[in-house]
Structure 1
Amino acid sequence: MNRRGAPITRYTHRIASALRRAAEEDQSHMTLTRLVDVLGARAHRVLLLVVSLFNMIPGPPGYGGTIAFTTCAIAVAMLMDRPIRFPGIIGRRKLPLDLMIKASDKIVQVAAILARFSRPRLRWLTAAAANTPYGMLVIAVSLVMALPVPFINAIPNVGLCIIAFSMLNRDGVGVIVGLVATAIGLVIAAAILFGAFHLGTAALGMVRQA
């Protein structure tokens, strides 16, 4: 397949173009509700890709939790086959538009690289019927990533990004790779949580003995 004709290439160019059109309206920030309006209230898979990539961008306190709950809300809407509607506290959250445009340009570059290796195959793993298990996985992972524990969301989020890219490019092999990366990330997250719990319990025991 010609790389320029790959589904993921078309989707990422669409994302970048939509954000640049929004910037032409002299906006400095964009709310998450506005982002949905720009990309489409039923573009569940596209928006899951966008927010998972935004989760890789460092942000202010609470940013990671907001993106995690946003991801969860999109997945719930996809499961219910309904347009995406955010609660006010999430929908009103603003993101800097210039940063989003820079991120979208990176997405286009990464998509061009991935298109060299990724192609439509094992399409049954990316068909509409896959939305249910896909949505359930995203909800589970996003709830883990919402926990206020440093570094807990890094690897699972990489897995979600790979899955999101692969779903849009109809690449079932990529979906499998993303599932493996997500599983590894969840195991590491569980180990971090276990370690934090163990250290907390030990510290509490020492305080009681003092």
Structure 2
Amino acid sequence: MSGQEIAEKPISVVLTELSARNGEGVNVRLGDVVDMIGSRGHGIAIVLLALPDTIPAPIPGLSGILGIPLFFISLHLAIFGETGRLPKRAERVAVPGRFLTLLARYGAPVLRRAERVTGPRFLAIAGRERLVGLFCVLWSLVLWLPIPFLNGPPATLLVLMAWGLIQRDGLFVGLGLVGSFALIAASVLLGDVFVDLLIQPDPV
């Protein structure tokens, strides 16, 4: 893959245009967003679907609505890579207009800064789309678990890896992969400690 594959119109601009055109009360098909972005469909879809779980106070119920398409898009990425189109069912998913409005208002400035400092580099890592897809499948399943206040780390890793795919930036993909291995290791370690505490015999 080369840097020329990146769509000319930045994602921050697309989100702002969508919000201005549709207004807060109008939902937008995920497929329409992807068509405006270009060849980075899986990446932008994962960013949009995982981003609500990265903030402390997401829109109530949004994770449950967006969790199913997030899993299937991640699975599709793991199987076909970024070159394949999104599944038709995923393209029909409605992204709430309220979320797009909030993202355009508060997220677009952050995205513009991110776009200035990210771009095609370490392409050998940026091209590991199916490996990224496998980790996205894992973290999308974790996000389904009803564990309060613990969605932030896996959602952040999803956004990091997906942003790396969008910008063809191997540094961000690499950070997401390293963070994924670290989070898995930490989870296993904490799980062992928790089990040891449960089975520890009572003092006589």
TM-score by length of 1: 0.70
Q: Could you say what secondary structure the match of 2:88 adopts?
A: coil
Alignment of 1:3-152 (within 5 A): 10-23=10-23, 28-30=25-27, 34-40=28-34, 43-57=41-55, 58-61=58-61, 63-78=62-77, 79-80=79-80, 81-86=84-89, 91=93, 95=96, 97-127=97-127, 130-152=128-150
**2:180 matched residue in structure 1:** 182
Aligned CA distance change for structure 1 residues 114 and 82 (closer, same or farther; 3 Å): closer
- Indicate if the aligned counterparts of 1:152 and 1:192 stay in contact, CA closer than 8 A: no
Alpha-carbon RMSD: 3.4
1:164 aligns with 2:162: yes
- Offset of 1:142 from its aligned partner? 0.8
- Offset of 1:73 from its aligned partner? 1.5
Aligned length: 185
Percent of residue pairs bearing the same amino acid type: 18
- Offset of 1:197 from its aligned partner? 6.9
**1:208 matched residue in structure 2:** none
- Indicate if the aligned counterparts of 1:19 and 1:101 stay in contact, CA closer than 8 A: yes
- Indicate if the aligned counterparts of 1:159 and 1:180 stay in contact, CA closer than 8 A: no
Q: Which runs of 5+ in 2 are unaligned?
A: 1-5, 200-204
- Indicate if the aligned counterparts of 1:152 and 1:189 stay in contact, CA closer than 8 A: no
Distance 1:101 1:16 in 2: 8
- Cα deviations by residue, 1:89-144 (Å, 9 ceiling, x for unpaired): x947x73x2332121333321122223432321112223xx322121111111112
Distance 1:91 1:176 in 2: 29
Q: Could you say what secondary structure the match of 1:115 adopts?
A: helix
